[in-house]
Structure 1
Amino acid sequence: MRLEQADPRRLIAESYRIEGIGAPECRSIFLDWAIGLPPEVNTRRALKRLLAEYALQNPDHPMTAVLRAGLDDAPVARRRGGAGGRRN
C-alpha cells in the first residue's frame, strides 16, 4: 500500500510535525483520519503502513502509541441488561 493511500489527507503525517502535541490531540486526529478514510482502503493495512513509515523515527511520539492501539483487537462486548445489569 502506498503512503498516499494510507493517509490521503496527510492528517497523520502532519500530526508528527506538530510540536508539543499530546495524546488527546492525537486521538482526535486519528478519529478524523479513520472517519475520512475511503471505504475501499483496508484500515488495518493502512495502520501497518503508517507505523512502518513513522514509528521507527518517532517511537515515543503520542501518535505512534495511538496507531499501535488502533491495531489492538476491540474488547468483546458483553450484555449487562436485566437484573444482572442493575445489581452492579
Structure 2
Amino acid sequence: MKGDALDPKALIAEAYRIEGITSEECRSIFLDWALSLPEGADVQAALSGLIARHGVTGHPMTAVLKQGLGEDRPPRRRGGRAARRL
C-alpha cells in the first residue's frame, strides 16, 4: 500500500485494519511511523490529521495517537514558583 504525507508507509492505516490489535502492537507501529517521517515534519499536525482521518473511538491506535498529542494526559499540578508566575 502506498502512503501519503501523513502516513508515508501507510503503517497507521494498516494498523486500523488489523483485527484484535493490542495497545503494545500499536505503540510499536507508532514508533516505526514516527521514525519514517521526513526530517523537519510537523509531527503534531500529522498526528492531528491522522486522528481526523482514522480516529475510531475505542481503537487502541486512536489512544496511542492521542497520547502522542498529549490529549489524554491528566492536567499537571504546578507547584512552587512556577504556579505563582503568570
Provide structure 1 residue ranges, at least 5 long, that are not aligned to the other structure: 74-88
Larger RCO (alpha carbons 8 Å, 6+ apart): 1
Identical columns (%): 54
Aligned partner letter, 2:39 = P
Gapped regions of structure 2 (runs ≥ 5): 72-86
Q: 1:31 matched to which residue of 2?
A: 31
Structure 2 distance, partners of 1:8, 1:35, is 10
Distance 1:50 1:67 in 2: 8
RMSD: 1.5
Contact 1:6 1:41 in 2 (8 A): no
Which consecutive aligned stretches of 4+ in structure 1 deviate over 2 angstroms post-superposition? none
Task: Provide the residue aligned with 1:63 in structure 2.
Answer: 61
Deviations 1:21-72 (A, max 9, x none): 00000000000000111113211100000000011xx111000000000001
The normalised TM-score by structure 2 is 0.76
- Higher Cα radius of gyration: 1
